[in-house]
Chain A
């Protein structure tokens, strides 16, 4: 049996957030992933982000596909409903769930096998539909759960643990997300929590389809020389477009930096994404510029991280569908059923 509950004991001095929860309240079961797996660091970042955002855990629905990465929703937000669906198809299930109840926050967790191979279609279509969610891919370039086969994000020429060289060109999910119309696109690294936490916070509060590709080394099968998804490789080749701070309306907003270095992006809900630009010419609100900038870096073997693109005023599928403000799953007979008299009229029109 691999299920291990975490002890519920809490230290009385643990700090609580504005909604009265301690960080422990955002934890889940004890992880069964390999010690050192990048995925566990991402879970920790999600916990941190939700705690800092004062989200009530039960207002989050966390959905995933199949893979080591997709197991992680069991390891955070224990008071939330979770759904470990089928391989590669989390996006459709999340879309349906989101349509049923627009009031929850939707967190989609997936792997690179899950999203770039079997689920590439669903991933792309969820982005183009503008389903409101934070879609996080824990990208290790291999299939972890099935023990080390190349995934579709493995770089051409990179080596597997067994020494096999990958001959296929890689799929860059960030590029696809940008092209498909995602309105918040970022890339993080599981080894850089300081960058990852605000990226996740921005994604959760974003009003449309938010996508984050997180490089997350697999210590069991893809953390060796020759891999471009190892801790060492990413640390050496990482280049960040900006340093991101996430500021809620109630936080004091102090301008520490001279204008020109700082881009403040205000989202629908009043939150502020403060981007301290590391590259003077980088404009995070220009989709096309972001794409070409990313491709240039990829061609040089560099991993570009940070918030690559955001349309802060994006809307979602519900806006496009003009769906009722009251969640569809809460509508009942009087709101849904046209009744016997209307049916009589329909009968009459069919004679």
Chain B
């Protein structure tokens, strides 16, 4: 029978039951491979449920460092009887099925074209452990031990990871090591090893770090100087606020006084959380909230207020499947339009679009600066795929000596020196007015903030010209924003091309891989990764310079494409949709196929783009 043979290049999937304690064992498996210098890219696939339902952890082992999902499964660790049929069916022919053989299964339960490896995990654990929870938990470590033999993962690496995890907890350390060897000993004695899938020490990880986007964004907020956070729990954003709390407890408690240099409120709902952020921003503190689609919906009235009254606000939107409760534990990029135009009336907001945790960190700090500079809401648009999955990425970078950009805040001294203060006057021609903070000066610079329109001196006014002055200035401010936001990244094809592709955010790793696959097939495409809205000038130029531009995104309605058409008046016929929206992260296979399918046959063999391309 066929046997998949691959070294450092395969996909393994763990099918578990939620609440069985498998998560940390599976992560341990992935980290051990990383420590052997081989890049991995794991993904949590979990239902909207706490306990008992199926959960999967898919690890792509990838010597080349591709961090998108590949598609297809080479080995299934099938620990969940509930999902057995589907899990077995998912395997590639020649793949490996690892299962708990304590209770024998009839042959009909297996497939002829796969390699079956049975190990009596329950029996082994029941023999060694008496406590029910221990029997359950250590089963996971035992299978990691067995896999380490089958795939030649170095046991020392795993033991070292245990050492780090259970530092100072000797008992836990030794019992985990024991379980590991229980699995290893059994495998060595009773199973055939190594199998066709193997891990070989390499040097392809370099100084990269392995972290999830929510922690990274939270850390970015710490570094960026956020002092007030208000939030309401919602998957997949909760771990961002929780990570902020954790980092603050570690790094923001004054060592002399023991006092906190931060305030974190778990509010009663998203309306209150954004309200608190608006209040804090109005009063000169850097503040943010983290939420997801339904939270954004609730926040929109306040977002409009912050836009119109010009108050700095940072919103981290970790997108999930919508609309409504949609697929709360799956990923999408489906809040683009809801955020770009959040609230009633004519509004437009700044969106930042990080591709990975490294950019989550960088852009979160940048968002706080931009919000202060522009006095407006700034959205950090991540998604479940970046937010909740650990990814290999460049290490976090910070330059000491960097000051926060607090924007145009007029001080008491400036007021005293007689500077004219008109809260909504465009003094500098960039559309951004000056503000004062409450309590600044006994007699000068106070004003009344409101959502209703006003004159340049913040005095209530319903006059048409005053309204026009305001809303047109806000457009000027938005144009200024386009020059300040992170600029797009362009990657030109190996040969000059009339084909372009635009993508953003978590699509990035799959896209990079797809471009290389296409290139190898003679299809050369120029690529632009958007990093922000408003679109800098280069975006319109990129579209103009190409005959056809694929816009790849993870939603049903091509929201970014709509934004490009709407804001740049780009010709819709030129922008070809490539859409992936089943809730799983997009794969290189999907992108490659979608693009190849749309190319005329001549192009596929290296010809030129034809006009009639769909």
Contacts and interface: CB of A to CB of B under 8 A. Distances in A.
A132 to B, nearest CB: 13
Contacts of B448: 73-74, 81-84
Contact of A323 (B263, B287, B397): B263
A95 B228 CA distance: 11
Contacts of B399: 340
A15 B357 CA distance: 62
Contact of B395 (A73, A317, A347): A347
Nearest to A19: B442
Contacts of B208: 351
A171 B71 CA distance: 58
B200 interface: no
B207 A100 contact: no
The CB with the most chain A CB atoms within 10 A, among B284, B285, B396, B443, is that of B285
A324 interface: yes
A96 B281 contact: yes
B278 interface: yes
B279 interface: yes
Interface string A72-97: 01100011111111100101111111
Interface in B275-328: 275-285, 287, 301-302, 305
Interface stretch (B217-225, B425-433, B572-580): B217-225
A347 B206 CA distance: 12
Interface stretch (B5-13, B113-121, B381-389, B454-462): B454-462
- Place the interface of chain B in its size category: 35 or more
A347 B271 contact: no
B471 interface: no
Given A83-B282, A96-B287, A346 B230 contact: no
B439 A96 contact: no
B400 A96 contact: no
A335 B223 CA distance: 11
Given A89-B275, A351-B209, A333 B225 contact: yes
Given A3-B460, A122-B268, A347-B396, A84 B279 contact: no
Contacts of A322: 258-260
A335 B404 CA distance: 12
A337 B401 CA distance: 10
A80 B285 CA distance: 18
Contact of B439 (A85, A95, A104): A104
Contacts of A318: 263
B280 A100 contact: yes
Nearest to A98: B279
B18 to A, nearest CB: 26
Contacts of A100: 227-228, 279-285, 287
Interface in A296-351: 317-318, 321-325, 328-333, 335-340, 342-343, 346-347, 350-351
B449 interface: yes
Contacts of A351: 205, 207-210
A175 interface: no
B48 to A, nearest CB: 25
B408 interface: no
A78 B446 contact: yes
Interface of B is mostly: loop
A96 B230 contact: yes
B279 A93 contact: yes
A2 interface: yes
B400 A340 contact: yes
A85 B462 contact: no
Contacts of A324: 254, 257, 259-261
Interface stretch (A55-63, A232-240, A259-267): A55-63
Nearest to A118: B271
Given A86-B305, A96-B275, A58 B441 contact: yes
Contacts of A99: 228, 263, 265, 276, 279-280, 285
Nearest to A101: B283
Contact of B446 (A79, A93, A98, A339): A79
Nearest to A320: B263
B602 interface: no
Given A74-B460, A347-B396, A81 B439 contact: yes
A121 interface: yes
B423 to A, nearest CB: 10
Contacts of A338: 222-223, 251-252
24 contacts: A1-B462, A57-B442, A78-B446, A81-B449, A83-B449, A85-B451, A86-B301, A89-B302, A92-B279, A93-B275, A93-B278, A96-B276, A96-B281, A99-B276, A99-B285, A100-B285, A121-B269, A324-B261, A329-B285, A330-B284, A335-B261, A337-B223, A347-B395, A350-B209
Interface of B: 205, 207-211, 219, 222-223, 225, 227-228, 230, 251-252, 254, 257-265, 267-269, 271-285, 287, 301-302, 305, 395-400, 402-404, 436-443, 446-452, 459-463
Question: Ordered nearest first, which 7 A-B pairs have the shortest CB separation?
Answer: A96-B279, A92-B275, A100-B285, A96-B276, A81-B438, A100-B283, A93-B279
Interface of A: 1-3, 56-59, 61, 63, 73-74, 78-86, 89, 91-101, 103-104, 121-122, 125, 129, 317-318, 321-325, 328-333, 335-340, 342-343, 346-347, 350-351
